[in-house]
Chain A
Amino acid sequence: QVQLQQWGAGLLKPSETLSLSCAVYGGSFSGYYWSWIRQPPGKGLEWIAEINHRGSTNYNPSLESRVTISVDTSKNQFSLNLTSVTAADTAVYYCARAQWVVSAPPFDYWGQGTLVTVSS
């Protein structure tokens, strides 16, 4: 059974950098893309970025200038950094599994979510 376990700081001040990590247990780490998705309170879902075990990445252009996604294959983990956060970045952040090709159905497994609040 595949499980995604995520963690990271939950309270940030404006201009700080958001850092989250997600560990994958069970199943294969290679052969998939590993994604980050966020959801502001009371709002919809927004895909942020994804990475595979080789370090190949895809980004949402709306966030690309502030986002860095990285992978540690030795630990089956991947991480998200989002720089210069503002209140608009307050959201629940999820990690999730996607397939190797964009056309294959994604997000069959999700992390538990981490609420990140940006407030001075």
Chain B
Amino acid sequence: DLQMTQSPSAMSASVGDRVTITCRASQGIDNYLAWFQQKPGKVPKRLIYAASSLQSGVPSRFSGSGSGTEFTLTISSLQPEDFATYYCLQHHSYPRTFGQGTKVEIK
């Protein structure tokens, strides 16, 4: 199975900070990667698909990049509503696999 490894697992940041989360695939997945945001008690929400395409309605401070085995999710200026857990997901092959998550907490 393809393994997806996120780093860091957790981080503390302040409002206005630039935040970068990394996701590494155990083998190349082209650009078949999505990012999800999940707030406590809520359903995951897709932010980014195809590594860098912004989901409709998602603020432009979110961006994704990467191809092959290394990908990043960047929040250009962290807002209070962005404190959440973020997951990457590969949609290159079965079984579909998620990263373990990155929790972004308030500093």
Contact = CB atoms under 8 A, between A and B. Distances in A.
B98 A106 contact: no
Interface residues of A, number: 23
B9 to A, nearest CB: 10
Nearest to B97: A47
B32 A103 contact: yes
Residue of A46, A98, A103 most packed against chain B (CB within 10 A): A103
B1 interface: yes
A107 B95 contact: no
A45 B34 CA distance: 13
Contacts of A60: 95-96
B91 A103 contact: yes
Interface stretch (B15-23, B44-52, B69-77): B44-52
Interface string B1-40: 1000000000000000000000000000000101010000
Interface residues on B, range: 20 to 34
A58 interface: yes
A45 B101 CA distance: 8
A106 B43 contact: no
27 contacts: A44-B87, A44-B100, A45-B87, A47-B95, A47-B96, A47-B97, A47-B98, A58-B94, A58-B95, A60-B95, A60-B96, A94-B44, A102-B92, A102-B93, A102-B96, A103-B91, A104-B91, A105-B46, A105-B49, A105-B53, A105-B91, A106-B34, A106-B89, A108-B46, A110-B43, A111-B43, A113-B43
Interface of A: 35, 44-47, 58-62, 94, 98, 102-108, 110-113
